[in-house]
């Protein structure tokens, strides 16, 4: 009897164990907000946060190392990252970039793509969930068009991904198709956009600036120029009257530049809340830490080419875009570099010389003037708070001037616009006539380090020319390669010709 | 020797005479011999049972002891089976002791039970305490380094705060857990930190898939079962006190050769006018103290053991040390005529540690040898230390003093076990255990620390974490014999919940260094770079059902089959449970055939499937984490409109599941000469598929695993089950007990393993997965983008790729086979072709001597000290250079090539220990032993870096998931190796 009961208990326990063992446990989340919870909100503040948050993925490439910005700048005649002995060899990436031998495997090529498409993914996820608001939808679609503007310029032939798509391997579209997509995205939405001034978000004038850049480069992007449309888009911004030239050029790039009258759209960097703008680290010599009381030792990387620097007249206030000559600590003590090379002409005292002895392998570590356009606040962390201008009124004036000049080489309005920009920084030296070289040089002086030089060189047909230690390059190099890492995981991507 | 022995015997005799007056009623004499060959056995302990009355056999094996009426004598000696003899009327008792042949009767701990060694049908190795490595061993895993074929226990460098890396049969996973599962007294998944080496009675290693399959989705990397020492019931009322204490001295065993100050200046280096040996400034002779005391006893149905361990280890580097207090209590109680058995185990581990920034080692190598340590007053900006504003050039002594890293860790392990024999042959058991670890860390970077603190004006950090695991297991075991067939059935259920919580705070900009991390609120800046305020919390659940059948027919044929089903909360929605089956069988051939001197020959074969869990439990779920702060009006002064934005944290994979390892093992267990020579051989092949790895997916595109419901890819990276790797190996181990070398007994044990290194079959799943994985850049300066390891499908895992070094030209520049990365060839591989261990135990009378040689061969190491600092940097006249016999005169900037890849095969005298057992007399001591041990005494290798030890994983770049894919790199932060000398005493008090 007793044995039977015990057998029964034993059987019961075994059945209990078998049953509970089969039940699959759920995963609880504690320190994150699951998508279904976050996206089901109706709180207007949370919705606003999602809308403003759409811009967050844009923070972190313009002015950051190993980024799309690095590629645009180092591939141009503005800047190089030389090999300083062992330092900055880094697998040869920066020499390849400067000499237009970039490979699909370059880290910055992959980073640039990831940056753009991560933003597109974020925007599409928001459109999918909050697309019913017309204003939000228009703003997000134009923002997405801006990201495609970066993609068409850098990679050319890329996939178009909409929020409604379900194909996990979206195929490559031609540069012409991308052009049409950007244009229609902006035109379909521009009239819904806010026409008042906004800070670091898309409004009507940002949309016009996107069109202006697209049309100005239409000849490059789709094969047929759209100079009149470019001029018109710029005019819409000028006529809007919301923006004007800052009297002092460099004020547009200072630490607290949120009040700039000139900046139309900026990437909102902040040392605490929007990080990645690491210019002091990227460009300054180690010893310059003492000039700006930097929190961390800089890396001694990016420097400007001598010929480019020499295109600035000493009387042109824009020459303040560089740090050149003897360097001093914040308390006025002459800085020295104890590990100077024996071949350094002025020895240990730290002097940023315009001349760079060579691109590699043993570039002098003090050689080359440095990028000083963006203010380095005393005691700054590696992350600057200066907002990075994407569209700036000064650029709009030069763009309209160029478009008008392309339509009519003797356009007086074009000449006036260029001289308007020039007069602000270089009083008493107006141009008498406009030539291609003069326009390109003026754009160089005005737009240095803002990430447009490569695009300008291509438009002016100079990108494939030889300069300094960069030989003549093939026209196929006008497009960056599609990143190796993306082609590996998306078989429907097509590599650009020449790679 | 004889003279000494005579004195001991004289003293013993004297004591004996002294005590005999009171107790002796009768004298017994006799001779003890070895049952193997009849030779005399000196040093045998003879004890009158139930008393403290004892004697020791002399050099001829003769003894004399006075005993009371009805006495029973116990004869015991290391390496021999103890014998008890009732004296009765005898006055002359000659005894022949039989060799203790472990292999015949050994009980092996397997998952959820034990088996006789002869019944085992899978690859299991068992190491008991008397075979453990000795000396200052702080981690349990190091006890069995070199003892188990196929198990690598490596701790490159000599950092006392670094745990050894364990690999069983090589690499099993990239993204999962690559360290074996640890089971302490049946507590699955317990942390090794819970147990002090002094408290371990035996360690068993489940090597093959079939043995580990009972642990299912956590068994792929192997299983180590630890059995701790415990009190014994049924011995009547007793209590013993054991004490073991030792002191150790650590010395620097190997460092990097650099130019002397004169050579440095002659070469053109900047002369700062003094001469400093930076190694000496950074290091010291570290001293350590270890104390262990335990009380073991029992009475009636209850037995217990309590132990306290204290360790204070000072490393060879000033400022690197730890103190650990480990207390442990286990109590067992039997009730209801032994049908109900209760066990309680409590362990508490309290550890304080201090560490430095390991970059100090690198700077100690390259810092200017003519620079002084100090050049100013302590109040100066640099704290008086010599510093210069040069790239990556910091005074190593200043760095070691001005950055402070302190941690406290507390582990508590509790285990309650109830066993009840419900009916005949059926035992139910329930285990409840909790394993909790809390940690509190503090870090401070002084205002005067040029590396970090000066820029941030002092920086302080505190972080704390609380990890806990709760496990409930219920098992039913039914064992019954049916004629010649013995059967054992096991059914079990387990439910485990783990939680991980913690937070961190970091502030900066201090007026005074005085408070350090204790006064974190003295930091003015609490937001932005170099600051932190963060927290995390996660939880996961693992539910399992398992069963096993063991069959034993006539003690000749054995069969075992098991299955475990695992449901993990972190698996994807559609992949909630994995099934892990195993089967193994063996036959004892010596029961079927007469084989002469072969006393045992068992052949066996096994097949088992094990798994590995995803590295985090939330990888299948889409969720948002905190992004940057939003400011709606763009005005930072109005804070009412500021919120943290939501950032899509990851691209989820709702199809994520376990990794699968299928392992086939063939084994032979043999014994010759009545089992005195015994050993085993194993051959295994492994096929690991559905490897867990983070893969790139098209950024911005719809989710490849669930394009409709999951959000579009924002990160461009998801965890997935990709690819397959295969490997195989051959293991051999053998031991011969008590070889007679005259009066000396010698027990050699030898094991070796040949690996066929892991081969990558595939990395792909559909369109996803990398075509190849390039990893491990040497680093800054200048070698940031050139990965030196390429994992390519079809090739061996971890191949190093680079140009071949062909020499140097007339200008001293490299002549390399190519500079085009596409033309690089395989220049090395960090995984070994094989490893071996050779343990020797000698006993002579009361003396014992043991030593362990251990080695690995066929592996290469990238010597990054040479790779960066051998060449004279043309720009810098301040860095010192590494000089070895492989150093050519090169003027080029350093670039990776075959020049810096060295064969690192080595043989190391890991351990040498000499002990003496004092003959004891009287009421107090039953055992007194004095011993001296040297660790890492000798290394034979051609490698010129710090430590030729195999590097199974890389610490420097990449993350913990790529670490296993980049073997063979000796990084510049490697802690110098140490040589340790230990002197200790252990006592057993009756």
Our CA-based measurement puts residue B600 at a distance from the nearest CA of chain A, in whole angstroms, of 39
Sketch the domain layout of chain B as residue ranges. Answer: 2-100, 103-233, 240-290+301-620+655-979
Q: Give A-chain residues touching B700 at CB under 8 angstroms.
A: 116-121, 124, 161
Handedness of CA A375, A377, A378, A379 (dihedral sign): negative
Strand-pairing partners, residue B204, are B126, B225
Residues of chain A neighbouring B536 (CB-CB closer than 8 A): 31
- Which of B529, B621, B648 is closest, CB to CB, to A382? B529
- Alpha carbons within 13 angstroms on the beta-carbon side of residue B251 total 10
Q: Which tokens hold the place of B419? A: 């066993």
Q: Which residue has the higher pLDDT, A180 or B641?
A: A180
Q: Which residues of B touch A300 (CB under 8 A)?
A: 391
Q: How far is B451 from chain A (nearest CA, A)?
A: 8
The answer to whether residue B989 scores a pLDDT higher than 80 is yes
Question: How many angstroms away from the CA of A221 is the closest CA of chain B?
Answer: 22
- C-beta atoms of A161 and B712 within 8 A: yes
Write b or e for each residue in B738-774: b if 16 or more Cβ atoms lie within 10 A of its Cβ, otherwise e. beeeeeebbbebbbbbbbbbbebbebbbeebbbeebb
CATH topology of domain B240-290+301-620+655-979: Maltoporin; Chain A (2.40.170)
- Lowest model confidence (mean pLDDT) among A264-278, B64-78, B348-362: B64-78
Does B103-233 carry CATH code 2.170.130.10? yes
Query: Cα B3 to chain center, whole Å?
Result: 44
Taking contacts as CB-CB distances below 8 angstroms, the residues of chain A near B391 are: 87, 286, 297, 300, 339
**Candidates A27, A272, A385, partner chain B, best to mutate (most B CBs within 10 A):** A27
- Other beta carbons less than 10 A from residue A12's beta carbon: 10
From first to last of the 499 residues of chain A, give the pLDDT tens digit.
455 566 666 565 655 555 555 567 889 999 999 999 999 888 889 988 888 888 988 988 899 999 999 999 999 999 999 998 778 887 789 999 999 999 998 999 999 999 999 999 999 999 998 877 887 899 999 999 999 999 999 999 999 999 999 999 999 999 999 999 999 999 999 999 999 998 889 999 999 999 999 999 999 999 999 999 999 999 999 999 999 999 999 999 999 998 899 999 999 998 888 889 999 999 999 999 999 999 888 999 999 999 999 999 999 999 999 999 999 999 999 999 887 888 888 888 999 999 999 998 889 989 999 999 999 999 998 999 999 999 999 999 999 999 999 999 999 999 999 999 999 999 999 999 999 999 999 999 999 999 999 999 999 999 999 999 999 999 999 999 999 989 988 999 999 999 9
Confidence of residue B18 (pLDDT cuts 50, 70, 90): very low
* CA-wise closest residue to B416 among B356, B479, B343: B343
Strands (E), B652-708: 659-672, 677-696
Q: What is the pLDDT of residue A185?
A: 98
Chain A residue numbers with beta carbons less than 8 Å from the beta carbon of B695 are 489
Cα–Cα distance for residue pair A99/A89, rounded to 1 Å: 14
Minimal CA–CA distance to A234: which of A48, A408, A413? Answer: A413
| Strands, E assignment, B148-196 | 151-154, 165-168, 181-184, 187-188
Choice among B789-793, B877-881, B893-897, B913-917 with the minimum mean pLDDT: B877-881
Q: Are B768 and B189 in contact (CB under 8 A)?
A: no
Whether B536 and chain A come into contact, CB under 8 Å, resolves to yes
Q: How far from chain centre, in Å, is Cα A85?
A: 29
**Residue for token digits 């010395």?**
B251
- Please check whether residue A417 is in contact with residue A398, taking contact to mean a CB–CB distance below 8 angstroms: yes
Mean pLDDT of B668-674: 91
Q: pLDDT tens digit string along A311-362?
A: 999 999 999 999 999 999 999 999 998 878 888 888 889 999 999 999 988 8
Task: Give me the residue from A25, A29, A31 closest to B567, CB to CB.
Answer: A25
A22 chain-B contacts, CB cut-off 8 A: 545, 565, 567, 577
- Cβ–Cβ of B892/A6 closer than 8 Å? no
Q: Looking at chain A, which residue has its C-alpha nearest residue B424?
A: A3
CA dihedral angle for residue B179, residue B185, residue B186, residue B188, rounded to 10 degrees: -30
**Looking at residue A4, what is its pLDDT?**
59
Residue A131 has phi, psi (to 5 degrees) of -75, -5
* Minimal CA separation from A183 to chain B, in Å: 20
Could you read off the pLDDT of B159-178 as tens digits, one per residue?
A: 888 888 899 998 888 888 88
pLDDT beyond 80 at B50: no
Find the Cα–Cα–Cα–Cα dihedral A86, A88, A89, A91, rounded to 10°: 140
User: Which CATH number does the domain B2-100 belong to among 2.60.40.1120, 3.40.50.970, 2.60.120.10, 2.70.170.10?
Assistant: 2.60.40.1120
Token readout for A32 is: 């994150």
Which class for A131: exposed (0-12), middle (13-18), buried (19 or more C-beta within 10 A)? middle
Q: How many Å apart are CA B870 and CA B867, to the nearest integer?
A: 7
Using alpha carbons, select from B976, B972, B944, B980 the residue that is nearest to residue B254: B976
The whole-number pLDDT of residue B354 equals: 94
* Cα–Cα distance measured from residue B511 to residue A246, given in angstroms and rounded to the nearest whole number: 40
**What pLDDT, on the 0 to 100 scale, is given for residue B212?**
92
The answer to whether B563 touches B582, Cβ cutoff 8 Å, is yes
Tell me the pairing of strands B773-775 and B744-762. unpaired
Neighbours of B27 (CB within 10 A): 12
From B328, B131, B301, select the one nearest B232 (Cα to Cα).
Answer: B301
Closest by CA position to A446, among listed A234, A257, A207, A245: A245
Q: Please name the member of A9, A23, A89 whose beta carbon is closest to the beta carbon of B782.
A: A89
Q: How would you label A383-394 residue by residue, b for 16+ Cβ within 10 Å and e otherwise?
A: bbbbbbbbbbbb
In Å, how far is A490's CA from the nearest CA of chain B?
6
Q: What is the reported pTM? A: 0.85
Test the A interface: residue of B419, B650, B698, B788 with most A CBs within 10 Å: B698
Task: Compute how many other C-beta atoms are within 10 angstroms of the C-beta atom of residue B594.
Answer: 7
Confidence at residue B874, expressed as pLDDT on a 0 to 100 scale: 54
- Tell me the chain A residues in contact with residue B452 when contact means C-beta distances shorter than 8 Å: 296
Half-sphere exposure of A232 (CA within 13 A, CB side): 6
Look at residue A176 in the predicted model and tell me its pLDDT. 97
Residue-wise pLDDT for B556-583, tens only, equals 999 999 999 999 999 998 888 899 999 9
Residue A157 contacts by C-beta under 8 Å, 6 or more apart in sequence? A172, A173, A174, A175, A178, A479, A482, A494, A496
Closest approach of A412 to chain B, Cα-based (Å): 39
- Put simply, the answer to whether A167 touches B702 (Cβ < 8 Å) is yes
């Amino acid at each position: 009897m007793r044995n039977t009961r015990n057998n029964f208990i034993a059987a019961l326990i075994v059945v209990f164990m078998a049953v509970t063992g089969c039940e699959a446990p759920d995963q609880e989340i504690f320190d994150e907000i699951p998508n279904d919870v976050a996206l089901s909100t109706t709180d207007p503040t949370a919705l606003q946060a999602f809308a403003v948050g759409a811009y967050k993925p844009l923070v972190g490439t313009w002015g950051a190392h190993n980024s799309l910005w690095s590629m645009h700048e180092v591939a141009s005649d503005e800047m190089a990252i030389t090999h300083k002995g062992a330092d900055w060899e880094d697998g040869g990436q920066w020499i390849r970039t400067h000499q237009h031998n970039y490979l699909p495997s370059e880290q910055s090529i992959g980073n640039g793509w990831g940056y753009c498409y991560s933003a597109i993914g974020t925007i599409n996820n928001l459109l999918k969930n909050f697309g019913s608001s017309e204003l939000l939808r228009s703003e997000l679609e134009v923002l997405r068009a801006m990201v495609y503007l970066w993609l068409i310029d850098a990679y050319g032939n890329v996939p178009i991904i909409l929020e409604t798509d379900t194909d996990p391997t979206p195929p490559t579209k031609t540069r012409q198709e991308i052009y049409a997509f950007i244009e229609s995205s902006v035109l379909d939405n521009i009239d819904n956009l806010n026409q008042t001034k906004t800070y670091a978000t898309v409004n009507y004038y940002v949309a016009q600036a996107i069109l202006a850049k697209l049309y100005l480069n239409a000849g490059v992007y789709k094969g047929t120029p759209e100079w009149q449309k470019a001029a018109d888009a710029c005019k819409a911004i000028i006529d809007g009257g919301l923006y004007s030239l800052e009297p002092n050029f460099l004020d547009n790039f200072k630490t607290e530049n949120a009040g700039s009258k000139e900046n139309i759209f900026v990437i909102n960097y902040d040392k605490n809340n929007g990080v990645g703008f690491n210019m002091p680290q990227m460009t300054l010599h180690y010893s310059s830490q003492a000039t700006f009381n930097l929190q961390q030792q800089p890396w001694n990387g990016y420097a400007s080419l001598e010929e480019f620097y020499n295109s600035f007249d000493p009387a042109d206030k824009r020459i303040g875009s560089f740090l050149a000559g003897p360097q001093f600590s914040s308390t006025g003590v002459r800085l020295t570099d104890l590990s100077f090379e024996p071949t350094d002409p002025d020895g240990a005292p730290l002097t940023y010389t315009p001349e760079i002895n060579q691109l590699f392998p043993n570039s002098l570590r003090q050689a080359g003037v440095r990028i000083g356009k963006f203010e380095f606040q005393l005691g700054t962390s590696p992350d600057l708070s200066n907002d990075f201008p994407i569209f700036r009124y000064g650029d709009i004036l030069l763009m309209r001037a160029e478009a008008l000049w392309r339509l009519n080489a003797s356009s007086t309005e074009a000449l006036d616009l260029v001289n308007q920009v020039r007069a602000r920084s270089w009083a008493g030296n107006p141009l008498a006539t406009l030539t291609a070289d003069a326009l390109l040089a003026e754009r160089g002086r005005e737009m240095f380090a803002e990430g447009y030089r490569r695009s300008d060189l291509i438009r002016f047909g100079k990108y494939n020319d030889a300069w300094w230690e960069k030989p003549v390059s093939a026209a196929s190099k006008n497009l960056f390669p599609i990143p190796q890492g993306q082609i590996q995981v998306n078989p429907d991507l097509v590599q650009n010709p020449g790679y | 020797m004889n003279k000494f022995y005579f004195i001991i015997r004289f003293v013993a005799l004297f004591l004996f005479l002294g005590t005999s007056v009171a107790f002796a009623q009768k004298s017994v004499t006799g001779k003890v011999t070895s049952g193997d060959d009849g030779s005399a056995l000196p040093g045998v302990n003879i004890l009158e049972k139930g008393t403290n009355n004892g004697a020791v056999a002399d050099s001829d094996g003769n003894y004399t002891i006075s005993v009371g009426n009805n006495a029973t004598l116990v004869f015991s000696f290391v390496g021999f089976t103890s014998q008890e003899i009732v004296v009765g009327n005898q006055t002359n008792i000659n005894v022949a002791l039989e060799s203790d042949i472990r292999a015949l009767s050994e009980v092996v701990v397997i998952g959820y039970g034990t088996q006789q060694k002869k019944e085992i049908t899978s690859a299991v190795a068992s190491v008991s305490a008397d075979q453990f490595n000795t000396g200052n061993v702080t981690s349990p895993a190091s006890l069995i380094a070199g003892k188990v074929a196929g198990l690598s226990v490596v701790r490159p460098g000599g950092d006392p705060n670094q745990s050894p890396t364990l690999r069983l049969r090589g690499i099993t996973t990239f993204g999962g857990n690559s360290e074996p599962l640890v089971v302490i007294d049946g507590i699955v998944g317990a942390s090794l930190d819970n147990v002090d080496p002094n408290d371990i009675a035996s360690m068993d290693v489940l090597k093959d898939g079939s043995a580990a399959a009972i642990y299912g989705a956590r068994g792929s990397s192997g299983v180590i079962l630890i059995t701790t020492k415990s009190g014994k019931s049924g011995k009547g009322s007793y209590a013993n006190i054991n004490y073991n204490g030792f002191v150790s001295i650590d010395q620097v065993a190997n460092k990097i050769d650099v130019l002397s100050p004169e050579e440095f200046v002659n070469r053109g280096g900047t002369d700062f006018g003094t001469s400093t040996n930076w190694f000496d400034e950074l290091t010291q002779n570290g001293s350590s103290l270890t104390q262990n005391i335990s009380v073991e006893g029992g009475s009636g149905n209850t037995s217990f053991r309590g132990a306290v361990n204290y360790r204070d280890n000072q490393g060879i580097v000033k400022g690197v040390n730890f103190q650990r207090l480990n207390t442990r209590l286990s109590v067992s109680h039997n009730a209801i005529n032994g049908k109900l058995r209760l066990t309680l185990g409590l362990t508490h581990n309290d550890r304080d540690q201090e560490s430095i920034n390991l970059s100090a080692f690198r700077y100690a190598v390259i810092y200017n040898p003519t620079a002084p340590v100090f050049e100013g007053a302590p109040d100066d900006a640099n704290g008086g230390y010599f510093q210069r504003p040069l790239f990556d050039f910091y005074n190593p002594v200043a760095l070691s003093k001005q950055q402070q890293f302190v941690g406290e860790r507390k582990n508590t392990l509790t285990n309650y076990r109830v066993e009840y024999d419900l009916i005949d042959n059926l035992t139910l058991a329930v285990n409840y255990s909790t394993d909790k670890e809390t940690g509190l860390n503090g870090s401070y970077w002084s205002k005067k620390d040029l590396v970090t603190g000066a820029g941030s004006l002092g920086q302080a950090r505190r972080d704390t974490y609380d990890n806990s695991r709760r496990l409930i297991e219920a098992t039913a075991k039914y064992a019954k014999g049916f004629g010649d067939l013995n059967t054992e059935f096991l059914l079990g259920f387990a439910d485990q919940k783990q939680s991980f919580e913690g937070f961190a705070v970091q502030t900066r900009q201090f007026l005074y260094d005085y408070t350090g991390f204790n006064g974190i609120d003295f930091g003015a800046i609490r937001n932005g770079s170099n600051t932190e305020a963060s927290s995390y919390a996660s939880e996961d659940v693992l539910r399992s059902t398992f069963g096993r059948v063991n069959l034993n027919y006539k003690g000749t044929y054995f069969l075992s089959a098991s299955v475990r089903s695992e449901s993990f909360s972190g698996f994807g929605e559609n992949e909630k449970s994995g099934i892990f089956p195993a089967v193994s069988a063996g036959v004892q051939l010596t029961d079927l055939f007469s084989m002469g001197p072969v006393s045992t020959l068992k052949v066996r074969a096994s097949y088992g499937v094990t798994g590995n869990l995803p590295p985090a439990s939330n990888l299948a779920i889409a969720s948002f984490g905190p992004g940057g702060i939003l400011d709606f009006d763009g005005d930072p002064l109005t804070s009412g409109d500021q919120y943290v934005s939501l950032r899509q944290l990851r691209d989820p994979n709702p199809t994520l599941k376990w990794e699968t390892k299928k392992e086939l093992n063939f084994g032979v267990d043999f014994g010759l000469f009545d089992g005195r020579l015994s050993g085993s051989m194993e051959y295994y092949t492994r096929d690991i598929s559905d490897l867990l790895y983070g893969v790139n997916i098209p950024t911005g595109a719809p989710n490849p695993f669930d394009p409709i419901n999951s959000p579009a890819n924002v990160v461009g990276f998801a965890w997935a089950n990709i690819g397959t790797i295969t490997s195989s190996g051959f293991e051999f181990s053998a031991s011969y007990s008590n070889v007679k070398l005259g009066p000396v007994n010698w027990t050699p044990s030898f094991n070796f393993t040949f690996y066929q290194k892991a081969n990558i079959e595939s990395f792909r799943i559909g369109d996803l997965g990398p075509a190849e994985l390039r990893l491990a850049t040497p680093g800054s300066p200048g070698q940031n983008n050139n990965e030196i390891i390429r994992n390519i499908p079809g090739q061996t895992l971890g191949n190093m790729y680079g140009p071949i070094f062909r020499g140097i030209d007339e200008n001293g520049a490299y002549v390399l086979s190519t500079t085009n990365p596409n033309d690089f060839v395989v220049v090395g591989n960090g995984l070994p072709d094989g490893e071996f261990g050779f343990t020797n135990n000698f006993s002579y009378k009361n003396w014992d001597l043991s030593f362990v040689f251990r080695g690995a061969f066929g592996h290469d190491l990238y010597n990054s000290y040479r790779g960066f600092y051998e060449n004279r940097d043309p720009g810098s006249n301040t860095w010192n250079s590494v000089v070895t016999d492989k150093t050519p005169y090169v003027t080029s900037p350093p670039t990776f090539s075959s020049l810096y890849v060295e064969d690192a095969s080595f043989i190391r005298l890991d351990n040498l220990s000499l002990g003496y057992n004092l003959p004891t007399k009287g009421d107090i001591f039953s055992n007194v032993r004095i011993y001296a041990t040297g660790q890492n005494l000798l290394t034979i290798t051609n490698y010129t870096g710090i430590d030729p030890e195999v590097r199974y994983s890389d610490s420097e770049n990449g993350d913990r998931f790529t670490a296993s894919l980049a073997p063979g790199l000796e990084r510049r932060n490697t802690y110098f190796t140490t040589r340790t000398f230990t002197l200790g005493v252990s006592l057993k008090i009756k």
